Amino acid sequence: FQGGALLVNLVLTTRSEEQWKKFLPALVSTGLIQPEKVTNNFTFFKFHPILVPILWSHLDSKRQQALYQSHQQQYYELSLYLWDKNRQNPIESSAIFKCELNNFLFAVKGALTRTTDYAVDFADNVNEFLNYFGLQRDYKALNDQLARLARKVGSREWYLTEINLGKQLYSVGRYAKAATIFEGVLSGLDSTVSYERCIALSYLGRYFRFQGKAQQAATYYQQGLDLIPQLEQTKGVQRQTGLLYTDLADVLTDMGRYVEAKSAYEQSLAIKNGEQRGKAVVLGQLGTLALLQGELSDAQQRYQAALCLFQQLKEPISEAIIWHQLGMVDQTKEQWENAEHAYRQAAEIQETKGSLQSATQTWGQLASMMEGMGKWKEAETWYRKVIEVGQQLGDMLGVSKRLNNLANLLKNQSDCLTESQQLAEQALAISKTLDPATAQIWKTYHVLAQIADKEGNAEKAKKYRRLARETYTNFHGMKYDLRQYAPLILGIVAVVINGKACKEKLEPVLEMLKMVNQDTVNAIIQILKGERDVDKLCEPLDYQEAPIITAILEGIEQPESLKWFENV
């Protein structure tokens, strides 16, 4: 035993649990064993450092070998129990695993060294908990040992080894290498429908989502979901179904397809009903969906609920994700101190746990927040740090966004205009290799248009504004952004169709918009005077303003086209 054990595991010494209960008071009174309550049902007995060496020295080598093997078998069986229990009672199962961590690591490494029949399954179970707790060093060491095993391609041992290796590479940001592993798994599996194939498809989808290729990711997730009905509906298959729906919802959110995303999240939540960890994950994702739709109160409420669950589960990596998202809510509200606190909470956890890719996302938000507060130098420093680390990690989606952020920041400094243009062009080159919606390519076109204006290049500015408008118009989430202008759009359409009777209701709306953007007001006035040429009206407008005019023109032509305002 490595420093102690639960009472249920002490029976390995061949004494029964009842016998141990008789000895324990004496051992506790002498200080050789110290009881530590883990849960209401389990107590961990911590050994004095001298106890095990003394007892061990009284055993012959044959008895020692037998105990080694019994120890490995016992902890393998405990890992099976905890893996299953983890679905319904993750707090208790996580607490048990944490207190027995050293025994699990010692036992699984021994089982792998002996290449027992159950060794790879044992490692797979232990890996799941190591990943939850962000124990990257132990996670990597165990997968390195797994990788050294000889195994036949297509066998279960080969599959579990490769999947765990791919997951470990993914967790430290080596995405391209992880994708190669998962593609190899798909190739190595036979062509029959299987649970293993669903797992590989899920991880490949995550890789492509991270690379900014949302449509490819969605295709992999859908392939996995198409296989599910053909499988026996075991607990593992049901859990994987929920994960696939969550992954699909994530990528639909990236694409701005919010109604479909919410439906997928709800399907996932229904499957995970009663499973605390799954519930926490989906609560967090629904919070993100609410944030993207501008429903800040709902987003904050869902994030707080998810944060409480992850803190109870003692899963720091997931906790950090929620802190990051809470920071985004506060940043949107311009509650700077709260936002900075949340981001720094997230970054501290991510840096401590070696989750560098997640940390870069949080650093990027810190940079954005500093920019919003007018702290230009601090923002620039953070942006440059994120770009450098992102390039090292191969995070091209993140790099493209931060290059554009930095270009936007520097364009207002006259001596940095050339560098600003170079940065924006680098961002554009990367974004063109990604899904336009995921890369938000319209933002880069917008920055390039502004730079061209500052250079006095009217034609180039006009071209970039047009490209920004076109790409943003094709983004499914555009309609959600447009909702805030619904009263204005509906009011203008009513005035044009119904005449002067509606003009009094329109005056306050026009005055309010005039405070925001004169170009849009000018375009609306032209519409009221009879102009219907969409290109002429939108030419001076940026990507956020043009959809207002487009929606008005569509509403005048076909009033029923505006009914979508009721459904978004």
pLDDT tens-digit map of 333-370 = 999 999 999 999 999 998 888 788 889 989 999 999 99
3-state secondary structure of 457: coil
- Quick one: average pLDDT of 438-443? 92
- Tokens at 517, concatenated: 């953007």
Spacing of C-alpha 63 from chain mean position: 49
Name beta bridge partners: 34. 46
Residue type, 88: Q
Which DSSP string corresponds to 7-74? HHHHGGGS--HHHHHHHHHHHHHTTSEEEEE-SSS-EEEEEPTTHHHHHHHTS-HHHHHHHHHHHHHH
Per the listing, tokens 């720091």 go with 316
Instruction: For residue 567, name the pLDDT band (cuts at 50, 70, 90).
Output: low
Q: How far apart are CA 563 and CA 58, in angstroms?
A: 83
Q: Which fold has domain 393-477?
A: 1.25.40
pLDDT in tens, 155-189: 777 888 888 888 878 776 677 788 888 888 888 88
- Quick one: average pLDDT of 403-422? 92
Return the pLDDT at 408: 94
Among candidates 196, 159, 166, which has minimal Cα distance to 180? 166
- Tokens at 453, concatenated: 């204006």
- How wide is the angle at C-alpha 215 spanned by C-alphas 210 and 218, nearest 5°? 80
Among candidates 131, 67, 133, which has minimal Cα distance to 103? 67
pLDDT higher at 264 or 329: 329
Name beta bridge partners: 445. none
- Lowest mean pLDDT of 6-10, 183-187, 537-541, name the range: 6-10
- Quick one: average pLDDT of 219-243? 87
pLDDT in tens, 418-427: 999 999 999 9
Do residues 331 and 368 make contact, with C-beta atoms less than 8 angstroms apart?
yes
Q: Domain residues of the chain, as ranges?
A: 1-150, 393-477, 485-566
- Tokens at 272, concatenated: 């995970």
For 391, counting Cβ atoms within 10 Å of its Cβ (0-12 exposed, 13-18 middle, 19+ buried), the class is: middle
Q: What pTM was computed for the model?
A: 0.64
4-6 and 43-47: which strand pairing? antiparallel
Q: How far apart are CA 544 and CA 440, in angstroms?
A: 13
- How wide is the angle at C-alpha 451 spanned by C-alphas 448 and 453, nearest 5°? 110
The 8-class DSSP code of residue 229 comes to G
Q: How far apart are CA 441 and CA 473, in angstroms?
A: 12
Q: How far apart are CA 334 and CA 327, in angstroms?
A: 10
The 8-class DSSP code of residue 501 comes to G
- Quick one: average pLDDT of 447-465? 93
Return the pLDDT at 335: 92
Return the pLDDT at 93: 81
* CB atoms inside a 10 Å sphere around CB 30: 10
Per the listing, tokens 């061949």 go with 14
